[in-house]
Chains A and B, each alone.
Chain A
């Protein structure tokens, strides 16, 4: 989220845009805009990692309306006495920034940029982290190296006395937050006289910190992920170019150190009119395409059959021609895309089993049953412990935010009883059903757990008996599957359901020779577990075994 104001944005754009103007521009480019009155809070999509400050968002909106927001584009390289030794955060990039004016009002903005990048691309400083120093306060040569923790002693930022390693990691807020990132020995930056001016990625020394009067910045980007360090460096550079000239410092490497090979050469992509037509359905001339791309910072060269396009160095999201065409679309405006009426002829159909399922549903509704949509995500407590159903081959889940979710259901009864127990004071009889999948362990599927379709029927009433349920089962089977021999037969385990039902009032439902479900009257022990005060008769039918 970039928090700014209409006044600040208009100052950068040298315009007098209204809130409505900003809303329209943001909608067109696909930026979310919130805030009230004078306040603008921009939320840019996650692919545009470099749009992180009011400067870069103004730059982007400026491109859309043809306003050039001031930016020093040239990147020079600068030689300085900087020595990088081998450490467990081996990748280091260094920048020198000559600010157009002293940091002053922009100091807060600079620190916000640092903080946001540390969190996003830097993944909370673990992949990469930024350090910013007042260049004029440092004595060169400076050295980046690992040292024994016993040798760490400096005044950390915001303190006024020297602290040793233990004190820094326990007494400073940053120390407590980030010391976990140090794998072996601490890493430090020291200057010519040996004085430590930072312990990346944790904290800087107070003397080298940036103030409102700072004119030159030295910036380090360190990390153990090369992609992240380079990607963060480029994104940071764009944002700093609105404040001054940015140079890349080439350090001297000592020992077995890995170069980050930071470079600004971008891959080139070919593009022509027919590519635009194919993807967007819009006819656009090469002249028009080139004009749009140039205004969005792309380098465009004419080619025999089209143009060769180079994205600006900070556009790390561009990996295929389609990303460039997407930019053209945003510039061109989605509202200008013409609709083409659907014309591809294909035969439409719902799942093969949908007619039978609809029929089962109508019959049950006719019997006075209310259809439910029960949860797939549940817990061992509701599936097994309270129901007395045996726990077998189910799918346990890891690390759930919601405390009462620990598994994916392997029966429907548990959630059905839970529903009843939450609706004790609603009108009776409560006649309920649901058709849904349970997860069952299977070697037939590569994902180990197969969806199996089940039907649960429950009737809860002061005088409910299993006879009604039994009658419904006969009707459903005959109506949908034909007149085979239907039987209810007792079995010791009932697929684990035996523990949930009253012995002698339960059984497997056989359709011909096939076992297609269980039915019975729920045991009072189970009803008590759910605090249900009326008898419940139930059936759980394995629709999958009936070919559904």
Chain B
């Protein structure tokens, strides 16, 4: 860029700064004070002009010392070793017992004695402390250092290590920006364009009288610093997407309380009462009185658990043939899965209107007794969808799964038989991730066991699936640590810069 062109790019502050440094003013703080311009504005100008090669910025670092709170205390009372020297001088020789009576704490006494003995200023003779007057000057000098005016002018050869170590003074560094003008800078100053009257900001006045006015050019080739914009949470944005997909497919949203009884979380779904998921190592128990459990339903669940049922030739269950303990149902926990919510809806809605088809979903938090790491959190989102209708089979379930995952951008899925206590058959849903070149688990599904529906008198099949929300989300965002998104340790920079586009489009 030629000199004239550069001159035209300079604004008022730039020109002021350049003129100032061409004379004798060299420091930004000095110029800022003299011309009443904010130092930060001058600094921006300096950086801008440095990038054009008009000037150089030299950082001059000055080291300074100041008193700490303790230092200020000693400024009025004197350093402990100084106080001790004065005391010995007044009443020689002094015993340790006498010293202990002085208004110093134990640490101060030992620091004082330590320093004095190290420098051979005192000697111990028959349990008495004796002063060597020839060396007392050292301590007096040190004590005098505490005076702030002296501290400022401290010379390099004074040893401050002891005072710094004892946290009596602290060291600080101040940076002074010294500016030096370059030859190009001088040329710009001399350029005819330097004094051209170019307009910086368009004013209402100028809008009316714009003819003949020259506008200063703006450089638009670098990314400007902007204020952070407001933004939805990336995980909640993803949850909205999931909800929209399910609502579009005809599903209605469910809700239930985070606090739940183990009856609705486990027993209603035929979890065995000694199932490891129920252990305190896995489930979060609330320290509270017993929750209430619907009596009639509990009775029916107990019956099925212990003895099964024999409703028809093809609908016979032998149950678990073991005792059901009602006390284990009446325990309050933080719900471990949203299937607890599902069964409350089966009880409240489906079982009361058995002829109508029903489709429900939930996207909500569940809780497990886990420690946090990169891929696990003790609280996380679960997505669940269920369908109730005449003649539903596993084929329908596979149809729903395929439709849902397609809408979530996941086309390539496969299903693997698995085991869940409350569905049979059960299928794990896996998606292929080209990014990591692997099949990964992205959901679980199945047909509810007849034992789980018998207490409600439901004879039709209910198919259900769950979607691995967090797993898919972190793969989509391409992050290695889920803690970036959730909770008190989430990273504000990450949340602000997370890119929405990654939530949409084809899964990779």
Contacts and interface: CB of A to CB of B under 8 A. Distances in A.
A399 B451 contact: no
Interface in A356-375: 358, 361, 364-375
B345 to A, nearest CB: 13
Interface residues of A, number: 98
Contacts of B231: 365, 370-371
Nearest to A272: B314
A346 B285 contact: no
B314 A270 contact: yes
Interface string B313-353: 11111111110000000001010000000000000000000
Contact of B259 (A270, A354, A408): A408
A371 B233 contact: yes
Contact of B369 (A306, A361, A400): A400
Interface string A309-320: 000000000011
A98 interface: no
A334 B427 contact: yes
Contacts of B493: 426-427
Contact of A400 (B250, B284, B293, B316): B284
Interface stretch (A81-89, A142-150, A441-449): A441-449
Most chain A C-beta atoms within 10 Å of own C-beta, residue among B228, B229, B285, B322: B228
Contact of A321 (B240, B315, B447): B315
Contacts of B293: 446
A422 B489 contact: yes
A322 B257 contact: no
Contacts of B428: 30
Interface in A316-336: 319-323, 325-326, 329-330, 334-335
B228 A370 contact: yes
B507 interface: no
A340 B347 CA distance: 27
Interface string B83-125: 0000000000000000000000000000000000000000000
A431 interface: yes
Contacts of A426: 491-493
B451 A320 contact: yes
Given A321-B314, A341-B399, A227 B334 contact: no
A377 B417 contact: no
A400 B486 CA distance: 19
Given A281-B394, A447-B259, A348 B249 contact: yes
Contacts of A402: 370-372, 378
Contacts of A346: 250-252, 357-359
Interface stretch (A103-111, A213-221, A390-398): A390-398
Contact of A348 (B246, B259, B280, B287): B246
Nearest to B229: A368
A8 interface: no
B414 interface: yes
B504 interface: no
A273 B233 CA distance: 51
Nearest to B280: A399
B53 interface: no
A112 B376 CA distance: 32
A45 B418 contact: yes
B332 A349 contact: no
A497 B242 CA distance: 36
Contacts of B489: 419, 422
Contacts of A28: 417
A401 B231 CA distance: 33
B450 interface: yes
Interface string B365-377: 1010111100000
A370 B492 contact: yes
A423 interface: yes
Contact of A447 (B261, B387, B398, B451): B261
A445 to B, nearest CB: 6
Nearest to B451: A320
Contacts of A275: 314
A342 B236 CA distance: 27
A344 B396 CA distance: 10
Interface in B406-439: 414-419, 424-428
Given A371-B236, A423-B491, A364 B251 contact: no
B369 to A, nearest CB: 5
Interface in B255-285: 255, 257-261, 274, 280-281, 284-285
Contacts of A419: 487-490, 492
A394 to B, nearest CB: 10
Contact of A377 (B287, B367, B393): B367
A161 interface: no
A450 B447 CA distance: 30
A405 B377 CA distance: 12
A270 B317 CA distance: 11
A64 B281 CA distance: 37
Contact of A399 (B248, B334, B369, B391): B369
A30 to B, nearest CB: 3
A237 B227 CA distance: 71
B395 A281 contact: yes
A373 B490 contact: yes
Most chain B C-beta atoms within 10 Å of own C-beta, residue among A46, A320, A335, A370: A320
Interface in A268-316: 269-272, 275, 277-282, 305-306
Contacts of B403: 341-342
Interface in A406-438: 408, 415, 418-419, 422-423, 426-427, 429-431, 434, 437
B285 A399 contact: yes
Given A320-B450, A340-B396, A402-B372, A227 B492 contact: no
A330 B321 CA distance: 26
B377 to A, nearest CB: 8
B253 interface: yes
A227 B365 CA distance: 36
Nearest to B489: A422
A334 B416 contact: yes
A401 B403 CA distance: 39
B365 A329 contact: no
B495 interface: yes
A451 interface: yes
B65 interface: no
A373 B403 CA distance: 29
Given A348-B248, A348-B250, A350-B247, A370 B496 contact: yes
Given A348-B250, A375-B487, A279 B393 contact: yes
Interface in B447-466: 447, 449-451, 461
B230 A342 contact: no
Given A271-B314, A375-B379, A375-B487, A326 B424 contact: yes
A73 interface: no
A510 interface: no
Contacts of A280: 393-395, 425
A320 B320 CA distance: 10
A76 interface: no
B488 A418 contact: yes
A27 B260 contact: no
Given A227-B321, A320-B451, A397 B261 contact: no
Most chain B C-beta atoms within 10 Å of own C-beta, residue among A282, A330, A337: A337
B442 interface: no
Sorted nearest first, the 10 A-B pairs with minimum C-beta distance are A281-B395, A30-B417, A281-B393, A418-B488, A45-B419, A446-B292, A449-B259, A365-B230, A375-B487, A371-B233
Given A321-B316, A375-B487, 5 more contacts: A322-B447, A344-B250, A396-B287, A398-B286, A426-B492
Interface of B: 227-233, 235-236, 240, 243-244, 246-253, 255, 257-261, 274, 280-281, 284-289, 291-294, 308, 313-322, 332, 334, 357-359, 365, 367, 369-372, 378-379, 387, 389, 391-396, 398-400, 402-403, 414-419, 424-428, 447, 449-451, 461, 485-493, 495-496
8 contacts: A320-B318, A321-B315, A361-B232, A370-B492, A398-B286, A439-B258, A446-B293, A447-B292
